[in-house]
Amino acid sequence: MTLFFTVATINYLPFAVSLLDSAKKYHPDFEFCICLADYITDDEIERNELMNKYPIVQLHELGADEFDFITQNYNPMQLANCSKVLFAKYFLEQVHINQVIFCDSDTFFFGPLPKSTVNDHEIILSPHFTQPPSIDMKRQELEVLNAGLYNGGFFKLRKSAQAFRYIDWLRERSVKDCIYDFKRGYYGEQLWLNLVPLYFKDTFIERNEGVNVAYWNLHEREISEVNGSFFVNNTTPLSFFHYSGWDYFAPEEISKWALITSEMRPEIKPLLLKYHAALEANEYEHYIKKTNYYTSNNNLNKKSFFSALKKKYFKR
């Protein structure tokens, strides 16, 4: 059985449900789960229609040794990113689950994953891009050199000895060191992914142009629509789009970080508006201001503690 999961905080629940709705349309045979890097009572879940659409596993249910540290010291983004590997291990340890597929909650499916992505390989990563941008867009390359060759917003792991070695390796390096500090070589869990193809021989780099389309690879991927279906570079079906940096209240803009604008690429607008409609239907404006149970009052809000934490990690 393939389990498809995403990690979200409560305020990102509309993103998570929209993603799973879109993925289930093309993969009805998968199991689906929302992993909550947050806390809510079982009674609240039972009373909430949106939270009843898919099974929810909460972070505290994993019994992870790192639980106290990460909930006391991280912001919501760090908490969500560092817990991906913990949830992956939790699922792969279940007898009936043969593999897991992860997507960040701010992604949306427009077609199925390639069959080879689903059926082959033990570890699959997605590169940010595979073709160089023009020299006037070299900032894209500089950002990837800083933030990692592979995007942590998508991966597949098939149950195997190698996959568990990979999980243990990444867990040791990224869960309690999920820090964002370019100067010292930290970018959450993502920079560690650069080493994965060297260390784990059955790692496959998914170069399919329809997978993980986002602002960072639009220089090599043009979108077209034919009879309601979307294609990349006229030939490859669009699997899913990653809306990193997209703003619900400026829905026709691709991303706050993009060098390419929707005026330059008007064919992207239908993807943006479809996503906006999905989030609106799933009560985005109701949820987005909700605070994270763990991070609203944790040590991150204590300046003296954060300074001590940085000194601990970054001793010269």
| Predicted confidence (pLDDT) at residue 316 exceeds the cutoff of 80 | no
- Confidence band for 302, pLDDT divided at 50, 70 and 90: low
- Distance between CA 142 and CA 12 in Å, rounded? 29
Identify the residue whose tokens are 């059985």: 1
- Confidence band for 311, pLDDT divided at 50, 70 and 90: low
User: What pLDDT, on the 0 to 100 scale, is given for residue 223?
Assistant: 98
- Distance between CA 69 and CA 169 in Å, rounded? 19
Each residue of 136-153: pLDDT tens digit? 999 999 999 999 999 999
Q: Residues 6 or more apart from 12 whose CB is under 8 A from it?
A: 80, 105, 106, 287
Predicted TM-score of the model (pTM): 0.94
- Confidence band for 308, pLDDT divided at 50, 70 and 90: low
